[in-house]
Amino acid sequence: MKIKKLLAFGLVITTSFSLVACSSSGGSDSNSTSSSKPDTTQSATASTPEPKSEPEKAPEPEPTPEPVAPSTIVVEGYDAEKNIIDIEVPYMPERIVTIDYVALDLLLELGYGDKIVGAAQSGLPAYLAEACKQYNIPDLGGLKEYDLEQMMSLEPDVIFSSGRTVSAYDTLTMIAPTIATSLDYDDVYNSFEELTRRNASIIGGEDQVEGILADYAKRVEKLQEQAEGKTMLLAIVTGGSINTLGNGSRGSIIGTTIGFENLAENVDTTHGDTSSYEFFLDVDPDYIFVIDRDTANSTDGATSAQELLDNEIMNQTQAFQNDNIIYLEPNIWYLVEGGLTAMDVMLSDIESAFK
């Protein structure tokens, strides 16, 4: 009995300890679960991003100012004694007078006819005369005999003159800055390029001429190849007689640039030395190139170069027999030698020798 009571008492104690242990275990789980829950208030506060400040924009670059064209430029020209001097002229002039057919040729070719307020037009080649009529350009007379009073009344910004009127520089420059165009006959083609670029720079046409000059240079190179080893005489018909021209004379581009051997190279006057038909037969060149000055000047009653050279002696030359007498366009070669359009005709005339 006593033993049963002890066992019952032990069982009660054991059960009590078990309940206490279970209770402790359950409490522990409850505490663990509670501590694993996030603190939502704190988390929300921590995860809210602070507002970002926008980066400063770089300042926009200031626009590049448009280049301002100069009001004047300085170019080389001639004084009355034909000394080379610096001359200040208006850049891109609005009112132009020209008593030079070479400058007139350039201005019209580049499309500046509306800027020409007066031009010498006596004896103009047809292509220039037609253009002057189209633009209704007042006629100032001839290359040497021009109307000075009319020129003054036109109030030009610049005057283009020629080697024929270079001695009038002092008079002309009192009206407006005056630029003379005069070819160097000892180096015609390079002189032509320099003067073309100079005159174009005055009117703002530098870029326009470069492509044309590049094309001409290719043609010159081909002609030089074709002319190598060939001889020629250069003749000018004036006053009913025939003269020979050297490499320092009008038309000398054929010898100095293209490379034909001029058999009268020591003649250096612009109108040549009077020659006989027998001289042409004795020298007997491969080619004879002819400028008809009388036709260029519209000389009354003059015999044409073709008629003059069609005679028994000239017909014995190898140039005649091989159809190698080349009659050059007289108005171009005598009046507009060195013009931009004129150079196209001049090269075409020489090219015809090889067709």
Query: What is the average per-residue pLDDT within 341-345?
Result: 97
The pLDDT score that the predictor gives to residue 314 is 96
176 in the Ramachandran plot: left (φ > 0), alpha (ψ -120 to 50) or beta? beta
Query: What is the average per-residue pLDDT within 323-348?
Result: 96
Q: 80-109: per-residue pLDDT in tens? A: 999 999 999 999 999 999 999 999 999 999
Please determine whether the domains at 72-182 and 227-353 fall in the same fold group of CATH.
yes
Q: 114-126: per-residue pLDDT in tens? A: 999 999 999 899 9
Contact residues for 76 (Cβ-Cβ < 8 A; gap 6+): 84, 85, 86, 87, 198
Q: CA–CA separation, 336 vs 131, rounded Å? A: 15
- The CATH number corresponding to 227-353 among 3.40.50.1980, 3.30.70.980, 3.10.620.30, 3.40.50.300 equals 3.40.50.1980
- Taking alpha carbons only, the member of 95, 250, 244 closest to residue 163 is 250
Structure tokens at 309: 């050279």
Query: What is the average per-residue pLDDT within 200-206?
Result: 96
Q: DSSP class of residue 233?
A: E
Question: Does residue 214 register a pLDDT over 50?
Answer: yes
Q: CA–CA separation, 264 vs 254, rounded Å? A: 12
Q: Where are the domains of the chain?
A: 72-182, 227-353
Q: DSSP class of residue 44?
A: H
Q: 8-64: per-residue pLDDT in tens? A: 334 333 444 343 333 444 444 434 333 444 444 444 444 555 555 556 666 677 776
Q: For the domain made up of 72-182, give the CATH fold.
A: Rossmann fold (3.40.50)
The pLDDT score that the predictor gives to residue 35 is 41
Q: 134-191: per-residue pLDDT in tens? A: 999 999 999 989 999 999 999 999 999 998 899 999 999 999 999 998 899 889 999 9
The pLDDT score that the predictor gives to residue 119 is 98
DSSP collapsed to 3 states, 243-311 = EEECCCCCCCHHHHCCCCEECCCCCCCCCCEECCHHHHHHHCCCEEEEEEHHHHCCCCCCCCHHHHHCC
Q: Which residue has the tokens 């017909």?
A: 315
